[in-house]
């Protein structure tokens, strides 16, 4: 089982993952920022213009690695949880799988809240 301190730690870690994912995918990919040129090159590579003309939206891989704060935060949370809890997974897979899903969902939820707050109050 998990105690209260571990649960609080998971929630705070999910919040940090969400802030990191949002900052990377929404702020640092703007023109003139650190990853602005990379964003434009990947935009061309994944044919975003052609897909948008066809009404398809972003390519799923492009969303996961750069274009969508929720997707980036979810991917970060997915892999960070595995890295931080690898040994525990080997001992009790079922409980850690449940907390893994909750951790990823919490990070995505926080990323949604952060994006909403940022676009409403800061931009």
pLDDT, tens digit, for every residue of 106-117? 999 999 999 999
Within-domain flag for 25: yes
Q: The tokens of 58 are what? A: 């972003």
Provide the phi-psi class of 32: left if phi over 0, else alpha when psi is between -120 and 50, else beta.
left
Within-domain flag for 36: yes
Within-domain flag for 76: yes
Within-domain flag for 35: yes
Domain range for 21: 17-122
Within-domain flag for 4: no
pTM greater than 0.85: yes
Q: Are the C-beta atoms of 114 and 22 separated by less than 8 Å?
A: yes
pLDDT tens digits, residue range 66-107?
999 999 999 999 999 999 888 888 788 888 888 899 999 999
């Amino acid at each position: 089982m998990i105690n209260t301190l571990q649960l609080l730690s998971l929630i705070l870690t999910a919040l940090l993952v969400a802030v990191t994912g949002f900052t990377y995918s929404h702020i640092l990919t703007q023109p003139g920022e650190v990853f602005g040129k990379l964003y434009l090159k990947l935009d061309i590579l994944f044919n975003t213009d052609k897909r948008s003309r066809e009404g398809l939206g972003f390519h799923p891989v492009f969303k996961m690695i750069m274009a969508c704060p929720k997707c980036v935060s979810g991917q970060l949370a997915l892999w960070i949880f595995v890295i931080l809890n690898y040994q525990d997974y080997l001992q009790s897979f079922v409980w850690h799988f449940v907390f893994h899903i909750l951790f990823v969902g919490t990070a995505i939820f926080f990323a949604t809240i952060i994006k909403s707050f940022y676009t409403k109050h800061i931009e």
